[in-house]
Chain A
Amino acid sequence: MPAPAKDTAPTFSSSASAVGVAVEGLCKNFGELVALKDVSLAVKPGEIFVLMGPSGSGKSVFLRHVAGLEAPTAGRVTIDGRDALDPATRKLVRMGVVFQAGALFNSLSVFDNLALYPREHRLGSEEAIREKVEHTLAILSLANTSHKFPAELSGGMKKRVSIARALVMEPQLLLYDEPTSELDPVMSATIAEIIATLKEQTRVTSIVVSHDRELALNIADRVGILMAGRLIHVGPPGPLRQPADPVISEFLYPKIDISNPRYKRAQ
């Protein structure tokens, strides 16, 4: 008798409601360097908010504040009304972070990287954890990597494992630091689709820091643009297809002009 067919459609699970993030007058200085200047914004529950900006504009520093990894010089970040810096917030709000370089635990296999959170927090039997980890790996086409170690993976695979590790947590808030950097266009599109599907299926709140214009314009509910530590624009992605502001236009749609290159203009 044939085994009953299984529904193999990729589905993400969530066991809790999404959370909102409020940033009020956030400032961060590293000595003389001003990384963030009076940044204020609110990310609604279930929203995909994409923060764009040139390299060194303070995007990753902003994300570290939301993750509670950095203390602000002034201002505050709250997640569902609770201070992001307070360790108690992490006990109440499940937060998945996809770090730019993956931040996978090099001494653990891919499987153990994913199983670490549920094992440490005793979220089910070993069998249930195994099933959940294998399901998540399968969704991200990583089924054959579970026994491998991070050092044996390509950059794109590491990124996907990092996303898978965040998904296993069934997060209420997902923070992505450059999720499509170093990826080929197809893999970038795959990651963008995963972020959008996650929002549809689990209503997880997502904050994505990225340079990727296509990702921002296609999946974001709102886009913020950070320039030299200041938030100069927040709004829906539509108007950014033809921005009126020349600074934003130059950032999003830079034209390559060989006859008058930028490095000469800068001089």
Chain B
Amino acid sequence: MKGLNQIIAIAKREEKRMLSRGLYTFCMVLAPIMAFLFFTTLMDEGLPAELPAGVVDEDNTSTTREVIRNLDAFQQTNIIEHYPDFASARKAMQQGKIYAFYYIPEGTTQLAVSGKQPVVSFYTAASYLIPGSLAYRDMKMMSEYASGAVGRATLYAKGYTEDQAMAVLQPIKMEMHAVNNPSLNYSIYLSNTILPGIIMLLIMQVAIYSIYVEMKEETAKEWLAMADNDIVKALIGKLLPQVVTWSLMGLFCLFLLYGAWRFPLNSGIWPMVLDMFLLINASLALGVFFCGLVPSLRWALSLATLWGVLSFPISGFSFPHLAFPATLKALAWLFPLRHYFLIYVDQALNGLPLYYSWLNIAIMLAFWGLPIMLLGRLRKFLLEYHYMH
């Protein structure tokens, strides 16, 4: 009972400290909310539409103009300008005005009519990977369509029905199913991991700050004394208000993703609530671990920063884990965000039974094993070390 009272007293002290400093309000409430709104409103469209593109139509017949009108009508592409030649279109691309252009050489219509198979081409600025590949998709579809239209017209003239014509033109057809994200929504693909990732980064940093600022301000002894120098009680009391705040922020994040933006949630909300709590806990554990590793606010913060920022690429939500070199594949196990992402994929995205995620859940829980090994060290640091300017 005494222990519980001590914890509560420390938690109350911590709450007062948090409320008296703008840093906590900024990093635990304002910064995450700003980041959440940034990503969700940035990619609100899902797929970027009306990407600026250009055309070089050296043929300039009614047929080619028709092709260009059709291309402009595609959702992802917006023809903003006609260029007189290849060189000026390329220049516009280098100036960042367009992401792609369509090139129709002189004589295209003439050659097509006489069955001599002219070649049109399209170019994308592949350095900008996403708009480049979307413009590619539209232009390819357009080209297939233009070519198919000519082919179908020829066959219809010969008395083929539509089905027969399609069977001749395209005997084997591919039908693609993007399971659980049929519109290829980029926000679903990115925000689901980036938002929790930002929480993870801030959790580690704030936890480290809140622990070692006591050393810096020489209040560490006072803090530990409130727990009879028991580091476990002292930490529980200190981290409790943070756990509560972060849990609320985590729930708000889930509300934005699955309530407001209605991203796929095939598992129901509870597995994701669990996932979020696991991430918050694993991040706190890592924060305490870095404190136990180095007796210095700045070094512990630097380690957390490096680890936190590296979490984003190594969790594999954008560039897949499958293509990593073997060492980094193994290293990825040590990042809570990697496990959060895998649980999210199994649960919210694919709606699998919870037991599919047991290994990741177990590892997330096991992150507390890291700081527990160093608690004695941390106690010693807090009682005996001083902040170095």
The answer on A and B forming one complex is no
- The residues of A with any CB-CB pair to B shorter than 8 Å are none
- The residues of B with any CB-CB pair to A shorter than 8 Å are none
